[in-house]
Amino acid sequence: MAPPFIFPNPCDMTGLPTNMEENPIHQKSQRGDTPTLPQTTSTPFTKAIFPRVTVPLSALLANLDEQLVKIVTDAPDKFIAIVVFNAGNKYFREHPSANLEVRRFVKSLGLPDQNVTVAKPASKNKPNQRREFEKPWTMIMAGAGPELRSFLLWHQTFAVTPTLTFSALPFDEGAQSWVIMNISGDAVDDTREAKNQAMGAIKVYLWYNAKFRALADRCLAPQNIGESTAERAYLATMSYDLAYVETKDNQGNDAPIWQLTGKPITTDMGRHKEYLNIIRGGRYMVGLHFLEIERRFVDCAGCKSDTHPAHMCPFPRTEDWMGPVPDNAERFLKRMEGNSGKKEKDSPPRRGGKGSSSKGGWKTVTRSRR
């Protein structure tokens, strides 16, 4: 009989987090082998390596017409998602020919395209016109030949002009977010000690939480990960990391948050939602302060990332950026940051999907960045 699993010091982050190379937050565009490049006479665009943009399938298809959803999900490799910078109601009202502009630009690349077409997003339900960034966001490209498809997905983001900047993304049902929850309150601090104490409080709660242990066991045992329920609960938290995000509240006051990230333990979206709910439903204390969970959030209206607020978007800071630059960071701040209490009914978890694909084996190789 194997000895019982002994949990280590939860506050000790030596050699942690694991699986960092898989975390999309640390990844860039132009990953893998360099594909066939476009002609030098193509329309100018920013030729830079960007942060990796990963939008979950649920977000790419959100509020799209059901017929379009079926067509895409039946053969996802035949299509490319086109997500313009600042996509939403306002953008498509002001740029009714955006799909044709994308098509013209793509054809200027001079790569075989097999008669590329780009369809504007047709809504399933009428969007709230008062919300500038309401879904659907996604235009759908069809007809891209292998060379063109490879280049678009490899380069990822195309900053052509301030009104024509977009990312080309796959319709990947395995894409998931590594963002687990956002934490606010008086305990939030940028010191290593504060982060380690918070991480310890989170881990201890989860390691001994019956629901978390049971779910970790159901998800990891079939993958032959771990030898006991306790060990699987521990392994599920090995990739956890806390990032300090400087941001402000609706009144413009400094209100930084911690963002907890970690590798998803399942590709089953129902179980992943259960996993997030268990973690977000915990009560965690650091010193005399309870952590405030999911009361504030960060979402970028521009690139659609859930890891930074709009006024801190790294894309406009890229060298030779030819895309849009916010003319008033405070305006973007007030629109996009603040209380996260209002959510769409029956919508999937807001961060249930953006990130890297969880396909493949579970890795627990340690790499420290501390």
Q: Which whole number is the average pLDDT over 118-129?
A: 87
Q: Which whole number is the average pLDDT over 234-247?
A: 95
Domain carrying residue 223:
178-298
213 in a structural domain: yes
Confidence (pLDDT) at 151:
97
With b for 16 or more beta-carbon neighbours within 10 A and e for fewer, the 108-134 pattern comes to bbebebeebebbbbeebeebeeeebbb
Nearest 5°: phi and psi at 31? -85, 145
Beta strand segments in 204-263, E: 241-245, 257-261
Could you tell me the two tokens for 299?
């979402």
The better pLDDT of the pair 254, 107 is held by 107
Q: Are residues 156 and 284 in the same domain?
A: no
Q: Are residues 190 and 62 in the same domain?
A: no
Band (364; pLDDT cuts 50, 70, 90): very low
47 in a structural domain: yes
Give the rounded percent of residues in the chain with a pLDDT score beyond 90. 73
352 in a structural domain: no
Q: Which whole number is the average pLDDT over 122-140?
A: 87
pLDDT above 80 (res 361): no
pTM: 0.84
Q: Are residues 96 and 218 in the same domain?
A: no
- Biggest alpha carbon–alpha carbon distance for the chain: 70
Rounded Cα–Cα distance for residues 198 and 333 (Å): 27
17 in a structural domain: no
pLDDT above 50 (res 355): no
366 in a structural domain: no
* 8 Å CB contact between 344 and 3: no
Could you tell me which of 37, 79, 97, 108 has the C-alpha nearest to residue 168? Answer: 79
Q: Which whole number is the average pLDDT over 103-129?
A: 90
Q: Are residues 148 and 204 in the same domain?
A: no
Lowest-confidence segment of 69-83, 119-133, 203-217 by average pLDDT:
119-133
- Number of domains the chain contains: 2
Of the three residues 146, 169, 192, the one that is the final residue of a domain is 169
Q: Answer positive or negative: Cα dihedral of 230, 236, 241, 246.
A: negative
Q: Are residues 116 and 229 in the same domain?
A: no
Which residues 6+ apart lie within 8 Å of 146 measured at CB? 112
Q: Are residues 234 and 264 in the same domain?
A: yes
225 in a structural domain: yes
Could you tell me the two tokens for 83?
């997500």
Of the three residues 169, 204, 234, the one that is the final residue of a domain is 169
Q: Are residues 184 and 158 in the same domain?
A: no
Beta strand segments in the chain, E: 79-84, 117-119, 138-142, 157-161, 164-169, 179-184, 241-245, 257-261, 285-286, 289-290, 292-293, 296-297, 338-339
* 8 Å CB contact between 258 and 183: yes
